[in-house]
Chain A
Amino acid sequence: MAMVNLTINNQKVSVEEGRTILDAANKLKIKIPTLCHLDLENIKFVNQSASCRVCVVEVEGRRNLAPSCSTPVSEGMVVTTNSIRCIKARRTMVELLLSNHPKDCLICQKSLDCELQALAAELNIREIKFDGERARHEIDISSQSIVRNMDKCILCRRCETMCNEVQTVHVLSPVNRGFDTFIAPSLNLPMNESTCTFCGQCVAVCPTAALTEVNNISKVWDALNDKTKYVVVQTAPAVRAALGEEFGAEPGTSVTGKMVAGLRKLGFDNVFDTDFAADLTIMEEATEFIHRLQHGGKLPILTSCCPGWVKFFEHQFSDMLDIPSTSKSPHEMFGVIAKTYYANKIGIDPQDMYVVSVMPCLAKKYEAARPELAHDDMQDVDTVITTRELAKMLKEANIDLMSLEDEDFDNPLGESTGASVIFGTTGGVIEAALRTAYEWLTEETLEKVEFHELRGFDGIKEAVIKINDLDVKIAVAHGLGNARRLLEQIRDGKATYHAIEIMACPGGCIGGGGQPYHHGNMAYLQKRMECIYKEDEGKTIRKSHENPYIIKLYEEFLGEPYGEKAHKLLHTHYVKRVKM
Chain B
Amino acid sequence: MNNYRMHLLVCGGTGCTSSDSLKLVDELKESIEKHGISNEVEVVITGCFGFCEKGPILKVYPDDVFYVTVKPEDAEEIVEEHVIKGRQVERLLYVEPNLKVKLEGQKDLPFYKKQIRIALRNCGFINPEDINECLAADGYQALAKCLCEMSKEEVIETVIKSGLRGRGGGGFPTGLKWKYTSNNASDVKYIICNADEGDPGAFMDRSILEGDPHSVLEAMAIAGYAIGAEHGYIYIRAEYPLAIHRLEIAITQARELGLLGIDILGTGFNFDVELRYGAGAFVCGEETALIHSIEGARGEPSTKPPFPAQCGVWDKPTCVNNVETLANIPPIFLRGADWFRTIGTEKSPGTKVFALAGKVNNVGLVEVPMGTTLREVIYDIGGGIKNNKEFKAVQTGGPSGGCITKENLDIPIDYESLNSIGSMMGSGGMIVMDEDNCMVNIAKYYLEFTKEESCGKCTPCRVGNKRLLEILDKITQGNGTEQDLADLVELGEIIKDTSLCGLGQTAPNPVLSTLHYFYDEYLAHVREKKCPAAVCESLLSYIILPEKCVGCTACAKVCPVPCILGEVKKTHVIDQSKCIKCGACYNTCKFSAIAKR
Contacts and interface: CB of A to CB of B under 8 A. Distances in A.
Interface of A: 48-54, 56, 64-65, 67, 70-72, 85, 88-89, 92-93, 96-97, 99-100, 129-133, 154-155, 157, 173-174, 176-181
A155 B494 contact: no
Interface residues of B, number: 33
A39 B462 CA distance: 24
A132 B466 CA distance: 8
Interface string B491-507: 10010111110000100
Interface in B290-333: 298, 300, 302-303, 305
25 contacts: A51-B458, A53-B498, A53-B500, A64-B496, A64-B505, A65-B498, A67-B303, A70-B303, A72-B305, A85-B497, A93-B459, A93-B460, A96-B463, A96-B464, A130-B491, A131-B467, A133-B466, A154-B459, A155-B457, A157-B457, A174-B457, A177-B454, A177-B456, A178-B453, A179-B451
Given A130-B491, A178-B451, A181-B462, A155 B498 contact: no
B505 A99 contact: no
B461 to A, nearest CB: 8
A89 B504 CA distance: 14
B508 to A, nearest CB: 12
A72 B304 CA distance: 10
Nearest to B461: A178
B456 A178 contact: yes
Contacts of B459: 51-54, 93, 96-97, 154-155
Interface in B467-517: 467, 470-471, 487, 491, 494, 496-500, 505
Nearest to A52: B459
Interface string B436-470: 00000000000000011111111110111011001
A96 B455 CA distance: 16
B499 A179 contact: no
Nearest to A54: B459
Given A64-B498, A174-B298, A53 B470 contact: no
Given A67-B303, A177-B281, A130 B467 contact: yes
Contacts of A133: 466, 470
A178 B462 CA distance: 5
B500 A100 contact: no
A100 B466 CA distance: 10
A92 B494 CA distance: 8
Contact of A179 (B300, B463, B498): B463
Q: Which of A53, A131, A154, A157 has the most CB of B within 10 A?
A: A53
Contacts of B499: 53, 64
Interface of B: 281, 283, 298, 300, 302-303, 305, 451-460, 462-464, 466-467, 470-471, 487, 491, 494, 496-500, 505
**Those 9 A-B pairs whose CB atoms lie nearest each other, nearest first:** A181-B456, A178-B454, A96-B463, A130-B467, A132-B470, A179-B466, A53-B498, A70-B303, A50-B303
Nearest to B466: A179
Contacts of A67: 303, 500
Nearest to B454: A178
Q: Which of A49, A50, A157, A179 has the most CB of B within 10 A?
A: A179
Nearest to A98: B463
A178 B156 CA distance: 39
A53 B462 contact: no
Given A53-B460, A155-B462, A178 B303 contact: no
Contacts of B303: 48, 50, 67, 70-71
A167 B500 CA distance: 27
B470 A179 contact: no
A67 to B, nearest CB: 7
Contacts of B467: 96, 99, 130-132
A71 B303 CA distance: 8
Nearest to A35: B459
- Tell me what chain B mostly uses at the interface: helix, strand, loop, or mixed: helix
Contacts of A99: 463, 467
A176 B459 CA distance: 15
Residue of B457, B459, B497 contacting most chain A CB atoms (<10 Å): B459
B305 A92 contact: no
Given A50-B458, A130-B487, A174-B300, 12 more contacts: A49-B457, A51-B500, A56-B498, A67-B500, A70-B303, A85-B497, A92-B498, A93-B459, A132-B470, A154-B459, A177-B453, A181-B457
Given A64-B496, A72-B305, A92-B494, A178 B455 contact: yes
Contacts of B458: 50-53
A155 B456 CA distance: 8
B466 A93 contact: no
Contacts of A154: 459
Contacts of A181: 455-457, 462
B450 to A, nearest CB: 9
B386 to A, nearest CB: 34
Nearest to B460: A53
Nearest to B455: A177
Contacts of B497: 56, 64-65, 85, 89
A180 B456 contact: yes
Nearest to A132: B470
A87 to B, nearest CB: 11
Contacts of A96: 459-460, 463-464, 467
A56 B496 CA distance: 13
A433 to B, nearest CB: 40
B500 A50 contact: yes
Nearest to B474: A132
A96 B281 CA distance: 24
Contacts of B505: 64
A174 B456 contact: yes
Contacts of B302: 50
Given A96-B467, A130-B464, A89 B494 contact: yes
Contacts of B471: 130
A56 B471 CA distance: 25
Contacts of A56: 497-498
B297 to A, nearest CB: 9
B491 A92 contact: yes
Nearest to B457: A51
A132 B452 CA distance: 16
A269 to B, nearest CB: 51
Contacts of A89: 494, 497-498
A347 B195 CA distance: 78
Contact of A173 (B298, B454, B462, B500): B298
A415 to B, nearest CB: 52
A96 B454 CA distance: 15
Contacts of A64: 496-499, 505
A97 B456 CA distance: 12
A53 B452 CA distance: 20
A173 B296 CA distance: 13
Contacts of B457: 49, 51, 155, 157, 174, 181
A131 B467 CA distance: 7
A100 B455 contact: no
A73 B471 CA distance: 38
A178 B452 contact: yes
B103 to A, nearest CB: 47
Contacts of A157: 457
A502 B415 CA distance: 58
A93 B456 contact: no
A448 B153 CA distance: 65
A88 B497 CA distance: 11
Contacts of B491: 92, 130
Given A48-B303, A130-B464, A130-B487, A176 B456 contact: yes
B509 to A, nearest CB: 13
Nearest to A129: B487
A240 B487 CA distance: 52
A62 B473 CA distance: 33
B597 to A, nearest CB: 31
Contacts of B500: 50-51, 53, 67
Contact of B456 (A54, A71, A88, A179): A179
